[in-house]
Structure 1
Amino acid sequence: LASDAAEGIVEFVDHGDHVHIRGLAEGSTSVVFSWIHRGELRYTTPPIAVQVGDHGHAHADDHDHGHDHGHAAVGEIGEFRILDRGANRAVVADIDNDHWHGSLPNVPVGDRISLGAIIVSADGRDRDLSDPAVNDFTVALASDAAEGIVEFVDHGDHVHIRGLAEGSTSVVFSWTHRGELRYTTPPIAVQVGDHGHAHADDHGHDHDHGHDHDHDHVHGDFDPHVWQSVDSAIVMVRNIRDALVDADPVNADLYRSNASAYIAELEELDRYIFELVETIPHERRMLVTGHLAYQYFADRYGFRQIGATLGSITTEGADPSAGEIAALINEIRATGAPAVFAENITNPSLARRVADEAGVRFVSPLYSDALDVPGSAAGTYIDMMRHNIELMVDALAF
C-alpha cells in the first residue's frame, strides 16, 4: 500500500517474479511496487491507483480467485517485538495499537546491528521463525525515507542493518507467512553514527509522534534517565515481566497479569502527557532544569532541553563557573525560555538566581532521579510523571 492509502480494500501475495492483488471490498486505493536486491531496497515506484469492483476492467490474468487463505486481514497482529541480538536478545521496541514503544539501537557507520523478532499473530499463535519458507522476518526502508544511510541483509529469523553514512532514516519490518505478506509495521527511526545518544540501552530516540522535535541534543555520552519517557518505561516493564517468567514459570500468569495491568496504566499516562503537552504553544516547549535529565522526555513529547543550572547529566560534577552561568542566562534570554525548573534532588538556590537574573519564572520542584515519600504527589512513578507535566503546563502554557 502507498503511504496514507485507503486500507481494507486489497491484500497482496508476493511471489518473487510476480505479485497477486486480491480485492477485499469495493473502492479505490493506491499501491507502490518495489525492487529489492540481496535484501536491500533499491527502488520504489510512485503510487498508482487500484480500483476494486466491476468498473469495466476485465483482467487478463484472473488468477488466485476463490482461495481461502484463512488468516486475519493484512495489517493485524497480536505482538511484534524487536530484539537486540547484540544485547542478549533484549526487547528494544514493540508495537502497541499501531505505534512503537521503544527504539532501535544506534547503528555505527561501517558496522551493523543484528535484530531478531517475536511475532504473535492476531489469533494468538506464536510464529516460529526458524524456517523462513514458513515465517519470514524482513526489513526495508520506509516509504519516503532517506536513502543511502543503511543497507539490509535478511536472514529469515533475524535481520542486519548496516550503517553506510551518518544520518537518520526510517525502516519497516514485515512478517511473511508462506510467501504471503501478513503484516508490516509502522516506520521506526534508525540513527547512524554517534550523535551523543549512547543511552543506557544504547537506543536512539527519534520518535515521530506528529510533534515538533527540533531540539538540540545537549547531553553527553551517557544518559541514564530512560524512565523520563513513558514508552521506555513500558519496554522495561515488559523486559522485567519476561525475566520473571523465565526465572519462575510457575507464576508466569501472575507476572503477565500484573504487567498487563500496569502497562495499561502507563499507556493511559502516556496519552495524558501528550494531551497536556498540546496545551503548551510549540514555541514555549523549552526546559531549563537542574541537570540534564530530561532529554528522553523532550524526545518523546516534543520539547527542547535548553540547558541546566549544573550544566551536565550528573548532579555530582563540579559547580558551574560564573561564565557558564552567564552563558545559560544569555541562552534563556535568547531562546525566550519562560521558566527555570528546580529539581527535588538539587539545591534550588542556583536555579532561583538564574531565573531572577534572566527575568523568568522560577518553578519547583520537578522530580528527576528520586520519588517523594509514599502517598505524596510524587510518591510513585506515575504520580511523579503526572506531577511533572502538570507543573510544566502551569509554567509554560501561558
Structure 2
Amino acid sequence: MKLSRIAAAGALLMALAAVPIAAPAAAQSTPGGAETRLPVVASFSILGDLVKNVGGDRVAVSTLVGADGDAHVFQPAPADAKKVAAAKVVFVNGLGFEGWMDRLVKSSGTKATMMVVSKGVEAREMEEEGHAHEAGKEAHAGHDHEETDPHAWQSVGNAEIYVANIRDGLIAADPDGKATYEANASAYLEKLKALDTEIKAAVARIPADKRRVITSHDAFGYYGAAYGLEFIAPQGVSTEAEASAKDVARIIRQIKAEKIPAVFLENISDPRLIKRIADETGAKIGGTVFSDALSDDKGPAATYIDMMQNNIREFSAALSS
C-alpha cells in the first residue's frame, strides 16, 4: 500500500513538472478594460468564498478543491499547478488541512505569497487514536501523539479571524486596494457577528439533553466548543482513514445507551456508514450537513453563511422534535 502511494505521488510530481508553467500574471482585466484584478488562489471552496467577500471586484479568485470536494484526499492536477503559478497570493487554511499543498507549490514554481488564514486561531488538539469526540476536549496527558483539528472555520468566531488575515494579506499584495479591502471586511464581519448570534439562539432552543450529534467524520469540534453541542464521529479529523469496527461498535452502543436522536450525513462523505449506524440503532437520519466544502451554486450551502445557516437548521429540526 505504501509503495503504491509513493509511486502515485511520484507520478503526480512528474506530471506536474512536465506542465509548461506560464509566468505569473500581474492581474486579469475586467470587462471594458477597467481596473485590473489581483489573481489569487484559495485552497478550498469555503475559503474561496471568504476571500471573495473581502476581495470583491478587485480580486480574481481560483479555488483548488471545489464544491462538494474533499480536501483531505484531494490530488492536484496539472491545471492546479497553473493556477498556483499565476497567483500573486495563495490562501491556505493551515493546521495540517492541505497535506498536498507543499508538493503543489514546489512543482508549480510559483512566486506567490503563501497566506495561512488560521493564524491566531486557538487550535484544537486531539488524540489520534480513540479520538477526542467530545466538543473541545483536549487530548489526555501521556499520549505520544496528538492530532490538530484543522476545521477551525466551523466556529464563526474563528471565521472572523480568517477574514482579518485575508484582509491583511490582500492589502499587502495590493496596497492601492486598502480602503476597499477594509470596507469589505468590515461589512462582512458584521454579517458574521449576526450569524454567530443566530446560531447561539438556535442552539439555546434545543433541549439540553438532546444536544448530541453523530456525523461521519470529526469535523465539528470547533462548532461544538463554540455553541454547546457534542459531536460524535466514527472517523477522525480526516476522511482519509477509514473508521475502525471498534469505533463504529462503540458509537452504536453510545447511541442506544444515551438515546441520541439523530445522525447526519455529510456532503463530502460516503453515506453508507452513517446509514448503517442509523439502521442498527433506530436513530433517524437528520439530513445532510456541510463540513469541509460548500455546495454548488444551486445547493443549500453555496456560501459560508448559507452553509452555517443550513447546518443549524438541520441540527435544530432533528434534535428539537
TM-score per shorter chain, which class?
Answer: 0.5 to 0.7
Which residue of 1 is the match for residue 260 of structure 2?
337
Paired letter, 2:122: H
Q: Does 1:365 align with 2:288?
A: yes
Q: Does 1:224 align with 2:143?
A: no
Q: Deviations over 1:37-59 (max 9, x none)?
A: xxxxxxxxxxxxxxxxxxxxxxx
Which residue of 2 is the match for residue 390 of structure 1?
313
Q: Deviations over 1:327-359 (max 9, x none)?
A: 110011222321111101111121011012112
CA apart distance, 1:314: 0.7
Which residue of 2 is the match for residue 76 of structure 1?
none
- Segments of structure 2 that go 5 or more residues without pairing to the other structure are 1-117, 125-133, 140-145
Q: Deviations over 1:109-128 (max 9, x none)?
A: xxxxxxxxxxxxxxxxxxxx
Which residue of 1 is the match for residue 251 of structure 2?
328
One of 308, 311, 316 as aligned partner of 2:240:
316
Q: Across the two proteins, how many residue pairs are aligned to each other? A: 190
One of 333, 344, 351 as aligned partner of 2:274:
351
Which residue of 1 is the match for residue 37 of structure 2?
none
Q: In the superposition, relative to structure 1, how do residues 356 and 218 fare at CA in structure 2: closer, same or farther (>3 Å)?
A: farther
TM-score by length of 1: 0.45
Q: Deviations over 1:37-89 (max 9, x none)?
A: xxxxxxxxxxxxxxxxxxxxxxxxxxxxxxxxxxxxxxxxxxxxxxxxxxxxx
CA distance in structure 1 between the partners assigned to 2:269 and 2:230 by the alignment: 21
CA apart distance, 1:318: 2.8
* Aligned sequence identity (%): 39
384-393 vs 357-366, greater mean Cα deviation: 357-366
Q: In the superposition, relative to structure 1, how do residues 200 and 337 fare at CA in structure 2: closer, same or farther (>3 Å)?
A: farther
Do 2:261 and 2:284's aligned partners in 1 also have CA atoms closer than 8 Å? yes
Q: Deviations over 1:5-25 (max 9, x none)?
A: xxxxxxxxxxxxxxxxxxxxx
CA distance in structure 2 between the partners assigned to 1:218 and 1:362 by the alignment: 29
CA apart distance, 1:392: 0.2
Q: Deviations over 1:343-378 (max 9, x none)?
A: 011111210110121121112211001110014211
CA distance in structure 1 between the partners assigned to 2:311 and 2:257 by the alignment: 25
What's the RMSD between the two structures over aligned residues?
2.3
CA distance in structure 2 between the partners assigned to 1:240 and 1:283 by the alignment: 39
Paired letter, 1:203: E
Do 1:285 and 1:304's aligned partners in 2 also have CA atoms closer than 8 Å? yes
Which residue of 1 is the match for residue 178 of structure 2?
252
CA apart distance, 1:295: 0.3
Residues 102-181 of structure 1 mapped to structure 2, 5 A cutoff: none
CA apart distance, 1:248: 2.0
Do 2:294 and 2:301's aligned partners in 1 also have CA atoms closer than 8 Å? yes
Paired letter, 1:238: A
CA apart distance, 1:282: 1.2
Do 2:123 and 2:148's aligned partners in 1 also have CA atoms closer than 8 Å? no
Greater RCO (Cα-Cα under 8 Å, separation 6 or more): 2
CA apart distance, 1:272: 0.9
CA distance in structure 2 between the partners assigned to 1:343 and 1:326 by the alignment: 20
**Structure with max Cα Rg:** 1
Q: Deviations over 1:254-275 (max 9, x none)?
A: 0001101111111111111111
Residues 1-398 of structure 1 mapped to structure 2, 5 A cutoff: 203=122, 215=135, 217=137, 221-305=147-231, 307-309=232-234, 311-321=235-245, 323-398=246-321
* Larger proportion of helix: 2
CA distance in structure 2 between the partners assigned to 1:361 and 1:218 by the alignment: 29
- Segments of structure 1 that go 5 or more residues without pairing to the other structure are 1-198, 206-213
* Larger proportion of strand: 1
CA distance in structure 1 between the partners assigned to 2:258 and 2:219 by the alignment: 20
CA apart distance, 1:218: 7.5
Q: Deviations over 1:220-268 (max 9, x none)?
A: 5111101100000011101111222233221110000110111111111
Do 1:200 and 1:226's aligned partners in 2 also have CA atoms closer than 8 Å? no
Q: In the superposition, relative to structure 1, how do residues 279 and 376 fare at CA in structure 2: closer, same or farther (>3 Å)?
A: same
Q: In the superposition, relative to structure 1, how do residues 200 and 286 fare at CA in structure 2: closer, same or farther (>3 Å)?
A: farther
TM-score by length of 2: 0.55
CA apart distance, 1:204: 5.2
Do 2:121 and 2:161's aligned partners in 1 also have CA atoms closer than 8 Å? no
